[in-house]
Amino acid sequence: MSVTSVQVADKQRYLEQIEKLVHSHTLRKAESLCKLLRYLAEHELSEPGTTLKEYQIATEVFGRPGDFDPQADSAVRVQAGRLRLKLLDYYNNEGVNDVIVVEVPYGAYSLSFHARPLRLAGSIPVPAPSGKVPTDVTLAEKPSGGLNIAVAVVSALLVLATVAIVILLLGRKPVRSEKTGATAMPAAVLAFWSPFVASPNPPWVIFSNAAFVGRPETGMRYLDPGRDAHPLILDHYTGVGEVLAVHELDEIFFRLEHEIRVKRGSLFSLDDANENDLIFVGSPAENLTLLDLPGTTDFVFTRPNSGPHRGELVVRNVHPVAGEPALFSPTDSSRPLEEDYSVVALIPGLNPARHVLILAGTTTIGTQAAVEYVCEQGSVEELMRKLAPGGGAPKFFEALLRVKVTRGVPIGIQLVSVRNHDGRNHD
């Protein structure tokens, strides 16, 4: 039900839900979004039914000056879109059993509060533009190494990918302010990302979109070149983790006051590699363009031909040191995903003047975790202490992460090992 139809005594429940959202894993590090969420909630609960103006939000929430021009500065629209996606992410994962649902309706700067009965895990109504009926969508983790892809899953991924890319990137301009500008960023974060913001040209973010055969209506599976002769290939689907990863990268570069350009892997060309710094989101098993470029040499994605993980995607430890296993494998594909492994690697580009950053897991959730790791202050500081203890930009390196997963959400990320470009261990 809408907040306009509840008693004053019930408003405390909504404020408690807002605080739960603010302190959630999904939102707790997005300070500007939490500030916007609280502001919208306070307005909705104190003045229900009244309309907020973009100018009002810009000046009172984001500290824009009195001559703020919404036609020239899209900060409020961008942040509202980010908040809408964060809430969608929260209610698909952490808040799947929450009774109170908070949404940012399309076409207005406001919040709506709805009470709902408990639903099956992973299913919430996806907000739709005004006048359109919301559609129930279930987001499921993409199987690690399996061949069968559920129709409901790939349809959901397409919906989420479309919403994310449109909201995050169309019409996006970097916004400079004391609160969100690069000058306010922690030193370790600035140092880590310095290879990608030093150039005036925005880096390309290349996200994975594996090749499938079949049709969404009748069932899809990964392309198998050995048995699929001249198939109709569908290469416009990607994983939940990749979509959320693009969002995280867009947010960190927004704070760094530097733009990014986004391209799906099947559209990548070698001209892109020669002329641009690149950030690859997804492993070579899904981001197939990585197979055409020099890749990692210490932590390599592979599929064993024998053993308990035969055919599944694992990380091979090419130069193990004492006490390290030769293979790092996620939870067996026959069971719910509880552990994954991710690789974070900075390597030279085809053009020595360019950099390539690889952020990839053995599953889509591991990929999301790799990106979260390099976007969060605490984990970046941990990594930079290994790479550049004296300060400065990072050298070329490869790092391995262990990811704890609960209900399709990366809830714990541990740095397992770090190698610099000559293979030495930094642990």
Give the separation between CA 84 and CA 22, rounded to whole angstroms.
Answer: 14
| Number of domains present in the structure of the chain | 2
**Residue 9, pLDDT score:** 60
**Residue 245, pLDDT score:** 92
CA distances from 193 to 98, 156, 199, 268 (A): 36, 32, 11, 22
Beta partners for residue 206, in sequence order: 263, 280
Question: Who wins on pLDDT, 361 or 232?
Answer: 361
**Residue 360, pLDDT score:** 92
- Domain assignment present for residue 131? The answer is no
- Domain assignment present for residue 144? The answer is no
Give residues with Cβ within 8 angstroms of 74, minimum separation 6: 171, 172, 173, 175
- Find the range with the poorest average confidence among 3-7, 57-61, 281-285, 294-298: 3-7
- Domain assignment present for residue 170? The answer is yes
165 and 288 housed in the same domain: yes
User: Quick one: pLDDT band at residue 8, thresholds 50, 70, 90?
Assistant: low
**Mean pLDDT in residue range 330-358:** 89
With beta carbons less than 8 A apart as the criterion, state whether 167 and 85 touch.
yes
Which pLDDT tens digit goes with each residue over 170-229? 444 444 334 444 546 788 999 999 999 888 889 999 898 877 888 877 888 877 777 777
With beta carbons less than 8 A apart as the criterion, state whether 104 and 80 touch.
yes
Q: Kindly tell me if the per-residue pLDDT of 367 is higher than 90.
A: yes
**Residue 51, pLDDT score:** 79
Question: Who wins on pLDDT, 216 or 58?
Answer: 58
User: Quick one: pLDDT band at residue 143, thresholds 50, 70, 90?
Assistant: very low
- Domain assignment present for residue 415? The answer is yes
178 and 278 housed in the same domain: yes
**Residue 236, pLDDT score:** 77
Which pLDDT tens digit goes with each residue over 78-113? 888 889 888 988 888 888 889 999 998 877 788 988
With beta carbons less than 8 A apart as the criterion, state whether 79 and 58 touch.
no
Give the separation between CA 47 and CA 25, rounded to whole angstroms.
Answer: 29
Mean pLDDT is highest, among 305-309, 375-379, 389-393, for 375-379
**Residue 137, pLDDT score:** 34
Average pLDDT, the chain: 78
Query: Judging by DSSP bridges, how do beta strands 135-138 and 123-126 pair with one another?
Result: antiparallel
- For 64, the domain range is 3-123
Give the separation between CA 215 and CA 346, rounded to whole angstroms.
Answer: 37
- Domain assignment present for residue 238? The answer is yes
**Residue 64, pLDDT score:** 86
111 and 240 housed in the same domain: no
CA distances from 278 to 15, 160, 332, 350 (A): 42, 24, 32, 11
117 and 236 housed in the same domain: no
Q: Which amino acid is at 153?
A: V
Give residues with Cβ within 8 angstroms of 370, minimum separation 6: 245, 342, 343, 344, 359, 360, 361, 401
**Mean pLDDT in residue range 251-270:** 86
User: Quick one: pLDDT band at residue 403, thresholds 50, 70, 90?
Assistant: very high
- Domain assignment present for residue 183? The answer is yes
118 and 163 housed in the same domain: no
Question: Who wins on pLDDT, 139 or 149?
Answer: 149
Q: Kindly tell me if the per-residue pLDDT of 382 is higher than 90.
A: yes
Mean pLDDT is highest, among 53-62, 100-109, 148-157, for 53-62
Orientation angle between helical segments 11-22 and 31-46, nearest 10 degrees: 170
**Residue 292, pLDDT score:** 61
**Mean pLDDT in residue range 389-393:** 80
- Domain assignment present for residue 148? The answer is no
Q: Kindly tell me if the per-residue pLDDT of 404 is higher than 90.
A: yes
Give the separation between CA 241 and CA 233, rounded to whole angstroms.
Answer: 22
Mean pLDDT is highest, among 121-130, 274-283, 292-301, for 274-283
Give residues with Cβ within 8 angstroms of 27, minimum separation 6: 21, 33, 34, 37, 86, 90
Burial of 67 (0-12, 13-18, 19+ CB in 10 A): exposed
The fraction of the chain above a pLDDT of 70, given in percent, is: 79
222 and 303 housed in the same domain: yes
Q: Torsion-angle region of residue 168: left (phi > 0), alpha (psi -120 to 50) or beta?
A: alpha
With beta carbons less than 8 A apart as the criterion, state whether 78 and 254 touch.
yes
CA distances from 307 to 303, 313, 314, 324, 350 (A): 10, 13, 12, 18, 35
With beta carbons less than 8 A apart as the criterion, state whether 361 and 313 touch.
no
Q: Kindly tell me if the per-residue pLDDT of 142 is higher than 60.
A: no
Question: Who wins on pLDDT, 212 or 41?
Answer: 41
Give the separation between CA 359 and CA 362, rounded to whole angstroms.
Answer: 11
201 and 110 housed in the same domain: no
Q: Pick from 123, 148, 169: which residue ends a domain?
A: 123
- Domain assignment present for residue 146? The answer is no
**Residue 125, pLDDT score:** 46
403 and 345 housed in the same domain: yes
Q: Pick from 103, 123, 143: which residue ends a domain?
A: 123
265 and 215 housed in the same domain: yes
User: Quick one: pLDDT band at residue 122, thresholds 50, 70, 90?
Assistant: very low
Q: Is this prediction's pTM over 0.75?
A: no
11 and 78 housed in the same domain: yes
Give residues with Cβ within 8 angstroms of 300, minimum separation 6: 315, 316, 318
Question: Who wins on pLDDT, 242 or 1?
Answer: 242
390 and 263 housed in the same domain: yes
Give the separation between CA 314 and CA 206, rounded to whole angstroms.
Answer: 21
199 and 298 housed in the same domain: yes
Question: Who wins on pLDDT, 330 or 229?
Answer: 330
Burial of 180 (0-12, 13-18, 19+ CB in 10 A): buried
**Mean pLDDT in residue range 278-286:** 87
